[in-house]
């Protein structure tokens, strides 16, 4: 390889030109712009010694841009390549399989690499350059030397909660290809559906691939659609087709078969594998289920037979065996499980989890493969050769690497693409969380706690797409794009969070390619943020965007800003209850989603407010003024329009500034028992003219608050006062029988208004 580079350097001048950086994602390790440019011809002449499958892919991707012709001569061909013999270990321990050099001169394009995979990666770079210069047809001459930092650059797809067709899975694999990811983690089984045909156990797909109905809306609503889902699964022929498709793109498919937890769909088909008798049904709600595989011999025989078929279908070095979120409820009550713990001198049920995983590992190892599992496989002791996928945070990865086990980093806060990527109010319903593009881009897979030697055990990074709230493929596209691009650059090792803005510009350039492919990517990076500022005459509303503020337009009457809207000039005064809709435009074209903010203005809006107890740090949003900002709380936005108090009461005093007449007081308090949020126990309203002597004018109890479902509107008689004080009482200690029993309840309040 080095020889080729030397020759090429001599041929093509190494003078550096201060040209614009090419719009490449992931950005290569080194890019040197040289003299001149390659003019994209009408017909691109390909040397006929180019590796066939890889070149066919290139032709398919660029078929709308150029025609192609083959030539047996190197001389005169526009695209040539060389495969260089791989250096022999131990001459180098560097992994060169994905390394490539791409040289573009006015005369032509030359790629050198050690493998076809390297050649294929170079073609991805080349495709992006062709796409960038689709219009001007001139690619600046350059030389790129490139290779990834991390060996595992993965994307996961959950097909259990919602199923995606073979064609959709292939499209998904193409998205990985475009951005040089190399691992597709296929989450094939879970409580809500078993999606892979296993010949020996036909009931897995006959019974386990269906569920009675599916949960819809927010988890707390406990609402179901009443529609049977399935049977949906992949036949073994279809699995082979997908694996082959991925192989042609140098992508490894890692299958996941969940155990010992997340097994309810398997138990619905084979209830004898559980601790109790059943019968069981595939789950209809999301979450974690108590019924799991019982570690009896019969279960191990079953799992070994399943894994036999899986191993035959998937050539990957790693088989993912799940291992996450396995409640120990049934094992604690099961005679067999308890005997097994005693017989094997295990410490407890966590030891039994470890026993389970180690026994499976031994089997998988005996077939020449390795296991990888979610970080709970560390519980009770890690299996000797296992790799860890660190999702609950980074600690699992740190612990694994310190113990010289490989780890793939996929911490929820950075790598869960089922989270919101913009203000939830302007986004489709999602699982929760907030993981915008910039956050993904800021991630460094190497934890600071590791030294250089330990860091070598971090194999890479992956993002996960859980599909509880993703019912169709358009929404899959929306959730992965553009965040997949940030992941790609993080995994390639060329991300630079300080220069996020520059990355964002490259992302925007990639949108043109996605537009052509009709991909439904999220436009959240264009979205408008609004900020409420209290002033002497009520509140004003400031709009901002990470883009050019001249593109911000809005309406004040709730109408669609794409039809008739004003250019944003500065803070908007909000004198009465209205809805502000805003969006970002470029050349008259809508770029963002439409942000909508409804204001409910009352005599408290924008007034001075003080709180005796402060809200919890995570739920303190705009501080005390959140309660008088004119915004009624949105349940989807607990981190925004609400204040959350951990075990404390709301004791708020509002200063009207002058004597003010009113006869109605309102506020909302929230109930979401699953999240330990309880309605207020009581509320008291006081008035004062001197902020010292307060008179109680109204009091309500628990029953009234419950009957109103927390939406409180009270007749306050005829008042005229300078100060209003409210004491909204926290529910206190959570009673038995509720999630979080014996802990302090949360009290959430959004707004205190008077009319």
| Strand partners for 590 | 585
Least gap, CB of 389 to ligand ACM (angstroms): 8
Q: With H, G, I as helix, E, B as strand and everything else as coil, classify residue 449.
A: coil
Q: Judged by CB under 6 A, which of 57, 374, 667, 686 binds ligand ACM?
A: 374
Which one of Zn ion, ligand ACM, none interacts with residue 275, CB within 5 to 8 A by kind?
A: Zn ion
- Strands of 513-559, DSSP E: 529-535, 538-544, 552-555
Please state, in angstroms and rounded to a whole number, the distance separating the CA atoms of residues 715 and 665. Answer: 7
Check if the beta carbon of residue 582 is closer than 8 Å to that of residue 602.
no
Q: Which is nearer to ligand ACM, 391 or 656 (CB)?
A: 391
Closest distance to Zn ion from the beta carbon of 264 (Å)? 15
Q: Is 325 a catalytic residue?
A: yes
Strand-strand pairing, 183-187 and 252-259 = parallel
Please select the residue that binds Zn ion; options are 40, 62, 303, 337, rule is CB under 5 A.
Answer: 337
Spatial neighbors of 573 by CB under 8 A, at least 6 apart, are 537, 538, 540
Q: Which stretch binds Zn ion (CB under 5 A): 84-92, 103-111, 292-300, 522-530?
A: 292-300
The encoded tokens of residue 342 equal 């005693």
By rule CB under 5 A, what count of residues binds Zn ion? 5
Binding mask 278-317 for ligand ACM (x = CB under 6 A): ----------------------------------------
Closest CA to 504 of 529, 478, 526, 477: 526
The 10 Å Cβ neighbour count of residue 93 is 7
The question of whether 262 is a catalytic residue gets the answer yes
- Tokens representing 464? 């996960």
Vertex 152 angle, CA 148 and 154, to 5°: 110
For this structure, is 678 an active site residue?
no
Q: What is the nearest approach in angstroms of Zn ion to the Cβ of residue 351?
A: 14
Of 133, 162, 185, 262, the catalytic one is 262
CA–CA distance, 543 with 527 (Å, rounded to integer): 10
Choosing among Zn ion, ligand ACM, none, which partner's interface includes residue 145 (Cβ < 5 to 8 Å by kind)?
A: none
| Residue 308 vs 325, nearer CB to ligand ACM | 325
Q: Does 325 participate in binding ligand ACM (rule CB under 6 A)? A: yes
Number of residues that bind ligand ACM (CB under 6 A): 4
- Minimum Å gap between C-beta 356 and ligand ACM is 17
CB of 262 to ligand ACM, least distance (A): 8
27 binds ligand ACM (CB under 6 A): no
Contact of residue 292 among Zn ion, ligand ACM, none (CB under 5-8 Å per partner type): none
Is 334 one of the binding residues for Zn ion (CB under 5 A)?
yes
Binding to ligand ACM by CB under 6 A, coded x per residue (else -) over 379-418, reads ------------x---------------------------
325 binds, among Zn ion, ligand ACM, none (CB under 5 to 8 A by kind): ligand ACM
Binding flag, residue 324, ligand ACM (CB under 6 A): yes
Residue with tokens 């295990």: 346
CB of 194 to ligand ACM, least distance (A): 17
275 binds Zn ion (CB under 5 A): yes
Query: CA 704, CA 683: separation in Å to the nearest integer?
Result: 10
Could you tell me the smallest distance in angstroms from the CB atom of residue 158 to ligand ACM? 9
CA 490, CA 652: separation in Å to the nearest integer? 46
d(CA 634, CA 350): 40
According to DSSP, residue 568 is labeled P
Residues 309, 194: contact at Cβ < 8 Å?
A: no
Residue 324, binding choice from Zn ion, ligand ACM, none, Cβ under 5 to 8 Å by partner class: ligand ACM
* Site map 537..576 versus Zn ion, x via CB under 5 A: ----------------------------------------
CA-based torsion, 560, 566, 571, 576: positive or negative? negative
Catalytic residue among 190, 376, 427, 750: 190
Query: Which two tokens mark 530?
Result: 């609004």
Q: Which is nearer to Zn ion, 53 or 298 (CB)?
A: 298
- Give the active site residue among 48, 308, 325, 438: 325
User: For the chain, percent helix, then strand, then coil, each to nearest 5?
Assistant: 30, 30, 40
If one asks whether residue 585 binds ligand ACM (CB under 6 A), the answer comes out as no
Q: Which residues pair with 712 in a beta bridge?
A: 667
State the Cα–Cα distance between residues 678 and 131, nearest whole angstrom: 54
- SS3 of 125-187: the string is HHHHHHHHCCCCCEEEEEEEEECCCCCEEEEEEECCCCCCCHHHHHHHHHHHHHCCCCEEEEE
Minimum CB separation of residue 290 from Zn ion in Å reads: 12
374 binds, among Zn ion, ligand ACM, none (CB under 5 to 8 A by kind): ligand ACM
Nearer to ligand ACM, 39 or 288 (CB): 288
**What CA–CA distance (Å, rounded) separates 446 from 435?**
19
Provide the annotated active-site residues.
190, 262, 325
Binding site for Zn ion (CB under 5 A): 275, 294, 334, 336-337
Binding site for ligand ACM (CB under 6 A): 324-325, 374, 391
């Amino acid at each position: 390889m080095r020889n080729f580079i030397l020759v090429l350097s001599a041929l093509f001048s190494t003078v550096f030109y201060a040209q614009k950086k090419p719009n490449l994602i992931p950005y290569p390790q080194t890019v040197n712009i040289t003299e001149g440019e390659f003019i994209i011809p009408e017909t691109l002449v390909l040397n006929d010694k180019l590796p066939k499958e890889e070149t066919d892919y290139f032709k398919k991707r660029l078929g709308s841009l150029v025609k192609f012709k083959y030539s047996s001569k190197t001389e005169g061909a526009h695209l040539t390549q060389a495969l260089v013999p791989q250096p022999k270990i131990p001459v180098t321990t560097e992994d060169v399989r994905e390394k490539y050099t791409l040289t573009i001169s006015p005369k032509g394009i030359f790629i050198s690499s050690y493998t076809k995979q390297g050649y294929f990666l170079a073609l991805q770079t080349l495709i992006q350059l062709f796409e960038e210069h689709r219009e001007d047809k001139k690619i600046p001459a350059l030389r790129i030397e490139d290779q990834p930092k991390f060996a595992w650059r993965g994307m996961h797809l959950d097909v259990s909660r919602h199923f995606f067709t073979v064609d959709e899975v292939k499209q998904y694999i193409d998205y990985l290809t475009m951005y040089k990811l190399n691992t597709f983690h296929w989450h094939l089984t879970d409580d809500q559906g078993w999606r892979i045909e296993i010949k020996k156990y036909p009931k897995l797909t006959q019974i386990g691939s269906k569920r009675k109905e599916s949960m819809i809306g927010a988890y707390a609503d406990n609402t179901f659609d009443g529609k049977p889902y399935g049977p949906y699964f992949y036949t073994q022929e279809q699995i082979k087709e997908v694996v082959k498709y991925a192989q042609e793109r140098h992508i490894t498919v890692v299958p996941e078969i969940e155990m010992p937890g997340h097994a309810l769909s398997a138990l619905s088909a084979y209830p004898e594998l559980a601790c109790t008798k059943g019968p069981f049904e595939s789950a209809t709600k999301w979450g974690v289920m108590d019924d799991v595989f019982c570690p009896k011999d019969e279960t191990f025989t079953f799992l070994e037979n399943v894994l036999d078929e899986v191993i035959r279908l998937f050539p990957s070095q790693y088989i993912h065996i799940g291992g996450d979120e396995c409640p120990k409820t049934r094992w604690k009550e099961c005679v067999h499980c308890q005997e097994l713990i005693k017989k094997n001198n295990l410490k407890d049920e966590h030891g039994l989890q470890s026993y389970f995983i180690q026994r499976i590992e031994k089997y998988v190892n005996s077939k020449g493969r390795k296991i990888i599992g979610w970080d709970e496989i560390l519980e009770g002791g890690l299996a000797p050769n296992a790799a860890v996928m660190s999702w609950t945070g980074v600690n699992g990865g740190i612990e694994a690497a310190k113990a010289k086990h490989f780890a793939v980093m996929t911490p929820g806060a950075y790598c869960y693409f089922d989270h919101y990527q913009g203000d939830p109010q302007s986004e489709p319903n999602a699982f929760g969380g907030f993981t915008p593009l910039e956050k993904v881009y800021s991630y460094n897979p190497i934890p600071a706690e590791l030294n250089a030697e330990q860091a070598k055990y971090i194999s890479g990074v992956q993002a996960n797409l859980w599909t509880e709230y993703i019912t169709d493929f358009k929404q899959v596209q929306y959730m992965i794009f553009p965040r997949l691009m940030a992941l790609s650059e993080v995994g390639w090792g060329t991300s630079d969070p300080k220069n996020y803005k520059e990355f964002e510009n490259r992302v925007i350039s990639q949108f043109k390619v996605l537009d052509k492919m009709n991909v439904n990517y999220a436009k959240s990076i264009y979205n408008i943020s609004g900020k409420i500022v209290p002033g002497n005459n009520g509140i004003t509303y400031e709009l901002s965007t990470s883009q050019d503020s001249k593109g911000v337009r809005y309406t004040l009457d709730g109408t669609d800003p794409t039809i008739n809207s004003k250019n944003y000039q500065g803070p908007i005064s909000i004198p009465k209850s209205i809805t502000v809709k805003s969006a970002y435009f470029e050349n008259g074209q809508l770029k963002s989603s439409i942000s909508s903010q409804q204001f409910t203005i009352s005599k408290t809006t924008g007034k001075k407010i003080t709180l005796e107890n402060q809200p919890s740090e995570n739920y303190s949003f705009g501080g005390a003024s959140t309660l008088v900002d004119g915004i009624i709380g949105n349940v989807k936005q607990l981190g925004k329009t609400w204040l959350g108090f951990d075990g404390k009461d709301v004791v708020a005093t509002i200063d009207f500034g002058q004597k003010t007449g009113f006869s109605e007081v309102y506020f909302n308090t929230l109930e979401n028992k699953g999240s330990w949020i309880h309605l207020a126990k009581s509320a008291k309203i006081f008035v004062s003219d001197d902020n010292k002597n307060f008179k109680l004018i109204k009091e309500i109890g628990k029953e009234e608050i419950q009957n109103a479902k927390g939406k409180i509107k009270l007749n306050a008689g005829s008042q005229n006062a300078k100060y209003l004080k409210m004491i909204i009482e926290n529910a206190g200690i959570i009673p038995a029988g509720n999630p979080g029993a014996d802990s302090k309840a949360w009290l959430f309040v959004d707004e205190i208004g008077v009319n």
